[in-house]
């Protein structure tokens, strides 16, 4: 039961992070391609850090 709960929480956290990232990118879509790529790279790095932290918390 605990393993299922952790998987659900990981999925919810991942979904929320992706949703926030997509909302941020959609809101700031106006700009040069270079700026968008830079911001997308930073967002992906942040998402990776968040997922690592969540996975560490449930170990």
pLDDT given for residue 28 in this prediction: 61
User: Model confidence over 14-31: pLDDT tens digits?
Assistant: 888 888 777 777 766 666
Structure-block tokens of residue 41: 């790279």
d(CA 39, CA 12): 23
User: Which residues span the domain enclosing 50?
Assistant: 2-57
pLDDT given for residue 27 in this prediction: 67
**What does the angle CA 51 – CA 57 – CA 59 come to, to the nearest 5 degrees?**
105
- The total number of structural domains in the chain stands at 1
**What does the angle CA 9 – CA 7 – CA 23 come to, to the nearest 5 degrees?**
50
Q: State mean pLDDT over 39-55.
A: 81
3-state secondary structure 27-47: HCCCCCHHHHHHHHHHHHHHH
């Amino acid at each position: 039961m605990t393993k299922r709960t952790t998987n659900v929480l990981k999925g919810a956290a991942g979904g929320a992070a992706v949703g926030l990232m997509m909302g941020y990118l959609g809101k700031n879509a106006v700009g040069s391609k270079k700026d968008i790529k830079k911001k997308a790279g930073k967002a992906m790095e942040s998402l990776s850090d968040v997922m690592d932290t969540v996975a560490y918390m449930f170990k």
